[in-house]
């Protein structure tokens, strides 16, 4: 079934989380089935692979269904409990002011989630980057523990 036939409950200023294969893409819903989102320059982010580059990025305003493609998505204003959101009018105006601007894209420093949360809260946050960093730290600690066990045999 074509998702365009479905309804969504997004309101202007809401953050939209789009579930890709290995990551989530984020944008800001501005109304009239339009979303403003940020991605590496030349990346259409319509379900493609994760951008593993740092470099020029671009802000686009597109039809929400074109950006979502066949992916699942949800409204996710997850930081509302931690940060005060701007008014929907301010979020939409600032999002539209950013369209066609080129910004520096960084997978870990300033990606689509950082961009979207900055527009809504005035704070650039990426929970998926934070979680990936925590997972890497946990893996490193487990590997270090394993290496110590293997390299320091029990002398009992």
Torsion, Cα of 81, 84, 85, 86 (10° steps): 170
Q: Percent of the chain, pLDDT > 70?
A: 72
Predicted confidence (pLDDT) per residue in 62-90, tens digit: 999 999 999 999 999 989 999 999 999 99
Residues 120 and 153 in one domain: no
- The yes-or-no verdict on residue 122 having pLDDT over 80 is yes
Instruction: Could you list the beta-strand ranges (E) of 64-147.
Output: 72-75, 102-105
* Domain limits for position 135: 126-156
Residues 105 and 149 in one domain: no
- The yes-or-no verdict on residue 59 having pLDDT over 70 is yes
Has 61 been annotated as catalytic?
A: no
Has 37 been annotated as catalytic?
A: yes
- The yes-or-no verdict on residue 43 having pLDDT over 70 is no
- C-alpha of 20 from chain center: 10
Selecting among 8, 61, 86, 112, the annotated active-site residue is 112
Residues 102 and 152 in one domain: no
Has 86 been annotated as catalytic?
A: no
């Amino acid at each position: 079934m074509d998702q365009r036939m479905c309804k969504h409950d997004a309101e202007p200023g809401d953050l939209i989380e789009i579930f890709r294969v290995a990551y989530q893409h984020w944008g800001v819903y501005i109304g009239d089935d339009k979303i403003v989102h940020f991605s590496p320059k030349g990346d259409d982010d319509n379900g493609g692979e994760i951008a593993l580059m740092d470099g020029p990025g671009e802000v686009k305003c597109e039809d929400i269904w074109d950006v979502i493609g066949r992916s699942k998505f949800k409204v996710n204003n997850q930081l509302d409990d931690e940060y005060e959101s701007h008014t929907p009018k301010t979020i939409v105006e600032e999002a539209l002011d950013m369209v066609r601007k080129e910004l520096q894209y960084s997978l870990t420093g300033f990606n689509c989630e950082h961009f979207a949360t900055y527009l809504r809260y005035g704070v650039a946050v990426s929970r998926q980057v934070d979680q990936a960093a925590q997972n890497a730290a946990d893996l490193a600690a487990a590997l270090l523990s394993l290496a110590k066990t293997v390299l320091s045999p029990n002398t009992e």
